[in-house]
Amino acid sequence: MLEVRDLRVCYGPLEAVREVSFRVDKGEIVALVGSNGAGKSSTLKALMGLVRVAGGSLLWEGSAIEKTAAADRVAAGIALSPEGRRLFPRMSVYENLLVGAHTVRSRQRRSDMLDTIYQIFPRVAERRAQLAGSLSGGEQQMVAIGRAMMAQPRVLMLDEPSLGIAPKVVAEIAAAILRVNKEAGMSVILVEQNARLALRLAKHAHAFEQGQIVRSGSGAELLADPFVQKAYLGL
C-alpha cells in the first residue's frame, strides 16, 4: 500500500535520512524506533509532504507521491498525528476533532468517525465540550490521535504518542492504538523512543541510527535481538 524506497531527507548540508526503505501493507502496525535525532520523525514528515525529499521515492498504491502536496496526500488516505500534539488550546475538543475532517465532505462519514473515536477514547467523548488546553497531556494526545483519524486515513502515522505521558495513560494509548488498527481498520506507522512499547505493538519494525535503518524484522524479532536489547531496551 505504502512503500518507501531509498529515501533521503536533507536539512541544508545535513543528511537526516539516508537510503531508508520499508513498506506498510494493509492492516499492519509498523514501528520505527531509535534515539532522538535518528531520522524517524523526518521520515514521517517526508511521507506527509512536510519536508522535501532529497532522493529516493515514495509510492502510494504503486504511484509516486514525493511531489504530491500534503493536502492531497491526506485526501488520498495518509494522515499524521504530530509530535507534541499541536492542538488548538482555545478551541473545544469537538472543534479540534472537526479540524481533522476538512477533507471529508460527507456529514454521515464525519459522524460515523466521531462515534468510532468516542468509542475508542471514552474520555474524549466525556470532554468534547471542554477547551483542549484544559486537558491533561494524555487526554490531549487522545484528541490529537482522534483528530488525525477524522481524515479517515488508510495509513495513520503517530509521532511519539507516549512522549511526556504518565505510565498508566501510556498503557491506555497503547490499547487504543491496537483498537484503531483492528476496529477502525487503519494501518499504523508508529514512531517511538519507547522501543519496548512500539515493538510489542508492531507486526514489523525498523531500528534507526544516524538516519539509517540498522535492524529490521518483526516486533518480536527485534525485541529478542541482542543489539536492539542493548541499544534501546537497556538490557
pLDDT of residue 20: 97
Percentage of the chain modeled with pLDDT above 90: 81
Q: What is the pTM of this model?
A: 0.92
pLDDT in tens, 22-71: 999 999 999 999 988 899 999 999 999 999 999 999 999 999 999 999 99
Give which of 92, 70, 64, 86 is closest to 7, Cα–Cα: 64
Each residue's pLDDT tens digit, 63-97: 999 999 999 999 999 999 988 778 999 999 999 99
Whether the pLDDT of residue 235 is over 70: the answer is no
- At residue 129 the predicted structure's pLDDT band, cuts being 50, 70 and 90, is very high
How far is 226 from 8, CA to CA, in rounded Å? 28
Amino acid at 102: H
Checking if the pLDDT of 234 tops 80, the result is no
Helices (H) then strands (E): counts for the chain = 10, 10
**Under a CB-based contact definition with an 8 Å cutoff, are residues 36 and 193 in contact?**
yes
Q: What is the pLDDT of residue 30?
A: 98
Q: What domains appear along the chain, each with residue ranges and CATH number? A: 2-232 (3.40.50.300)
What pLDDT shows up at residue 77?
Answer: 95
Identity of the amino acid at 218: S
Contact 96, 132 (CB under 8 A): yes
Name beta bridge partners: 79. 156
Given the C-alpha cell 468509542, which residue does it identify? Answer: 119
Pair 115, 81: CB distance under 8 Å: no
Grid cell 512500539 is found at 198
Distance CA 4, CA 219 (A): 19
**If you average pLDDT over every residue of the chain, what do you get?**
93
Angle at 158 between CA 156 and CA 165, to 5 degrees: 145
Question: Which tens digits make up the pLDDT trace of 167-203?
Answer: 888 999 999 999 999 988 899 999 988 899 999 999 9
